[in-house]
Structures are given as C-alpha cells and as structure tokens.
C-alpha cells in the first residue's frame, strides 16, 4: 500500500513539472513577412515596333538672308516608323511634308515652295513606368531635304549676285543632303498613345551650279536652309 502511494505521488510531481515546463517554454518565433520589392521605375524593356502620324509647324527658318523670319511659320505633317531593341535603342525612318513653306525673296518667288524631308535616324529611348508606357527619346540622323515649286517661279530680282528679269518656269524642284536632330516623348495606354517632338533640320551648304536661272534660284534657297519643327500626333506600338 505504501508503494502505491509513492507511485501516485511521483506521477503527480512529474505531471506538474511537465505542465510548468510547457507554460514557461519560449514560443516559436513569428514568421517575418517578405520585404516588398521596390517599384520598377524602368518599365518593361521589350523589343517592339513603333509608328506615328503627326501635324505641326515649322519655325525659325534661315538661309543666307533669303528667307524672311516674319513669314517663317508654316504648317507641316508627316509620319514615322521605327524599331526599338529592348525598348531602348533602335532606328526610325522619318518624313515630313510642308505644302507652303513661307519665304520672301524680294520679288523672285510668286508662290511659297513645298519643303519635304526624308530622314533615317538612330533612336535612344528610356521606358518609364511599370509598363514602360512613358518613353522620352532622342533621335538624329541624315537624309534628304527637297524644295519644290509646284507652279514654277515668276518674277525678277537679284539671284546670287545676278539680276534676273522676267523669270518664268514650270514646276521645278531641287534636293540636297541634310541632317536632323530632335527629342520628344511618347506616352501609351496599351498599344495606342501620343507623340510630341521638337526637331532641328539643316540642309547641306553647297555652291549653286545650275546654268538655268530657275534652278539657280531654288539652289540658292535650298543651300544651307535650316529650320525647326514642332509636331504632335498619334503613336502606335506592337
């Protein structure tokens, strides 16, 4: 009987000790939540095509004192297609058309000429936003600048130091090499967006060499022609 009492007492002591140990033991640590990654401000860098159509204005033209600055603003329109590798670097073909480029040549020119440009450019862009929807960019390159008088040239005046009188001709045009450089931004909502651009154009300086006086007039106007363009329009990416 005494042995049974001792066993019961030992069991009670063991149970109480285990309960106290369980109550005083350190609970397991609370799991730490993973850190939230910072926002990706650089956007998605995927390769894609670009295309845009735009309208705008030319301004700030000059050319060997042939152009009048107070008539230099004129409407233009154009288009662009390009490709960006990883959304960062690539190339584009850019073309602009100005149906009436304001000029003043002291009586020689009756109508304002068409001035068109065709440029192959290198492009650098920086895609911003979580989806790369904002794309500021710079671009520049080389190509051709064309001047054309659809209705010819009628009048008289001083052309390259030579007095020209009763000058009459049919439609006439000249083309010169040139370059351009500009910057802008594209903003997209999915595949459709807008494009804004400011750009400088400069035709090469060359010596007029035509023996035809009408051609010489256009060559004088085109040589060293430089002007700015500001455009805005619709853009697409895919």
What tens digit of pLDDT does each residue of 82-121 get? Answer: 999 999 999 999 999 999 887 766 555 557 789 999 999 9
Rounded mean pLDDT, 65-89: 81
User: Which has the minimum average pLDDT: 36-40, 122-126, 170-174?
Assistant: 36-40
Q: What is the DSSP letter of 78?
A: E
> What would the pLDDT profile of 137-171 be if each residue is shown by its tens digit?
999 999 999 999 887 766 555 555 555 555 566 77
Residue 136 has pLDDT above 70, yes or no: yes
Give the C-alpha distances (Å, rounded to integers) separating 186 from 181, 191, 193: 17, 11, 7
- What pTM did the predictor assign? 0.74
- The CATH classification number of 48-237 equals 2.40.160.20
**Average pLDDT in the chain:** 79
pLDDT of 32 over the 80 cut = no
Residue 228 banded pLDDT, cuts 50, 70, 90 = very high
């Amino acid at each position: 009987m005494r042995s049974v009492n001792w066993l019961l007492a030992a069991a009670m002591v063991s149970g109480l000790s285990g309960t106290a140990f369980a109550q005083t033991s350190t609970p397991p640590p609370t799991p730490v939540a993973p850190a939230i990654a910072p926002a990706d401000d650089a956007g998605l860098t995927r390769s894609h095509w670009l295309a845009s159509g735009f309208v705008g204005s030319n301004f700030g033209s000059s050319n060997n004192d042939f152009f009048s600055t107070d008539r230099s603003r004129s409407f233009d329109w154009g288009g662009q297609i390009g490709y960006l590798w990883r959304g960062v670097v690539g190339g584009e073909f850019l073309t602009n058309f100005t149906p009436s480029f304001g000029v003043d040549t002291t009586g020689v020119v009756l109508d304002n000429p068409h001035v068109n440009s065709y440029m192959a450019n290198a492009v650098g862009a920086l895609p911003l936003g979580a989806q790369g929807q904002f794309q500021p960019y710079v671009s520049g390159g080389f190509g051709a600048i064309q001047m054309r008088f659809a209705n010819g040239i009628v009048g008289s005046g001083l052309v390259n130091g030579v007095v020209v009188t009763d000058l009459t001709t049919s439609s006439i045009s000249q083309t010169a090499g040139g370059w351009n450089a500009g910057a802008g931004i594209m903003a997209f909502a999915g595949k459709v967006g807008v494009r804004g651009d400011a750009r400088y154009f400069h035709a090469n300086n060359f010596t007029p060499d035509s023996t035809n006086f009408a051609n010489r007039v256009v060559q004088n106007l085109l040589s060293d022609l430089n002007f700015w363009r500001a455009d805005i329009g619709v853009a697409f990416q895919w």
